[in-house]
Amino acid sequence: SREWHLVARPQGWPKPEDFALREATVPEPGEGQLVVRNLHLSVDPYMRGRMNDVKSYVPPFKLDHPMDGGAVGEVVASRADGFAPGDHVLHGLGWREYALVDARHAVKVDEEAAPLATYLGVMGMPGMTAYAGLLEVGSFKEGDAVFVSGAAGAVGSMVGQIAKLKGASRVIGSAGSAEKVRHLTEELGFDAAFNYKDGPVLEQLKEAAPDGIDVYFDNVGGEHLEAAISVLKQHGRAVLCGAISQYNDTQAAPGPRNMVQIIGKRLRLQGMIVSDHDALRPQFFKEVGGWVRSGELTARATVVEGIENMGDAFLGLLRGDNTGKMIVSL
């Protein structure tokens, strides 16, 4: 069995040498435990924060210990009631081939209801982030115009599509390549999209949203957030979900220079953490699950094969190699 360790804390952009794939023994289950052979592993932007030795809403990774994160796998041995070999489970001990999981930290998932990897994406944490962020934090209502950054990624692609399905008047997305922009407008039904690398975000956003926006879903921070503050209408809301443009910064980036507009326009900017919204989960499964089954919602994934390529997959996620959810399949 193999598992990925963090062997050095990255300064700025992580390097391949900051991670190492190491040998481990296949565990035996104790009372109340399962051994899971992982099938799909998640790489997520928040993991970059866990590589720094700072207190946050999730503890940092320990050096020379296995990293962890979302995973779906098959139970191969069980000493826990209600779990049998062959069952599929979602759990938090990714970055490894075999995991020893406490049954209370495992959730059974149904391959008939949705493909297993989607429990790490559209039917999982990123999907919930989009759903709760837009509807609860962003107070989205029918007729709103919505702008989302990181729009071709796991969370962003769901935000835009959910907004459309819920009756947005206009949905605009930004992403980092011409191919992603095409995917947004031609395959995901966005009304407009632009490549933020083509020119200033503010100019491109004004052109794409001539009448302004009601909700900004921020995955990126920095220049995007400043531009959105300028284009938000009176009583507009910004959902501060992520700031990936700053995750590899070694010095704090300057804040938006136009904060004074928040006052006159009575804007609300609110941070969110998905785990605060668990009460919404049954509604999320019902509604989003229905859209996935009917084909109204498209959930693309970029799949990297092989545990040995997981470090590269994580670096690729930070660079923007993915369209939709980035998954490592074993």
For ligand NDP, give the closer residue by CB, 223 or 287.
223
DSSP 130-153: HHHIIIIIS---TT-EEEESSTTB
Show the site string, 146-165: x = touches ligand NDP by CB under 6 A, - = not. ----x-xxxxx---------
Residue 243 beta carbon to ligand NDP: minimum distance, rounded to whole angstroms:
6
Q: What's the CA gap between 126 and 147, in Å, rounded?
A: 18
Residue from 14, 124, 173, 242 touching ligand NDP (CB under 6 A): that is 242
Residue 218 beta carbon to ligand NDP: minimum distance, rounded to whole angstroms:
8
Q: State the DSSP H helix or E strand holding residue 126, giving kind and residue range, or none if neither.
A: helix 125-132
Q: What's the CA gap between 225 and 229, in Å, rounded?
A: 6
Residue 69 beta carbon to ligand NDP: minimum distance, rounded to whole angstroms:
11
Q: Which residues of 154-181 are buried (b: 16+ CB within 10 A; e: fewer)?
A: bbbbbbbbbbbebebebbbbbbbbeebb
For ligand NDP, give the closer residue by CB, 114 or 137.
137
For ligand NDP, give the closer residue by CB, 187 or 211.
187
Residue from 78, 314, 322, 328 touching ligand NDP (CB under 6 A): that is 322
Number of residues located near ligand NDP, criterion CB under 6 A: 29
For ligand NDP, give the closer residue by CB, 80 or 154.
154
Taking alpha carbons only, the member of 88, 132, 79, 85 closest to residue 107 is 88
Residues 91-130 that bind ligand NDP (CB under 6 A): 126, 129
- Report which DSSP code applies to 63: B
Beta strands in 25-104 (DSSP E): 33-42, 71-78, 88-91, 98-102
For ligand NDP, give the closer residue by CB, 175 or 307.
175
SS3 content of the chain, % helix, strand, coil (to 5): 35, 25, 40
Residue 163 beta carbon to ligand NDP: minimum distance, rounded to whole angstroms:
15
Cα dihedral 193, 196, 198, 204 sign:
positive
Among the listed ranges 24-32, 40-48, 78-86, 289-297, the one in contact with ligand NDP (CB under 6 A) is: 40-48
Residue 301 beta carbon to ligand NDP: minimum distance, rounded to whole angstroms:
10
Q: What's the CA gap between 185 and 193, in Å, rounded?
A: 7
Q: Taking CA 222 as the corner, what is the angle to CA 216 and CA 225, rounded to the nearest 5 degrees?
A: 20
Show the site string, 176-215: x = touches ligand NDP by CB under 6 A, - = not. xx--x-----------------------------------
Residue 192 beta carbon to ligand NDP: minimum distance, rounded to whole angstroms:
15
Inter-residue contact 217 to 242 (CB < 8 Å):
no
Among the listed ranges 18-26, 105-113, 201-209, 238-246, the one in contact with ligand NDP (CB under 6 A) is: 238-246
Instruction: Give residues in contact with ligand NDP (CB under 6 A).
Output: 44-46, 126, 129, 150, 152-156, 175-177, 180, 219-220, 241-242, 244-245, 272-274, 317-318, 320, 322, 326
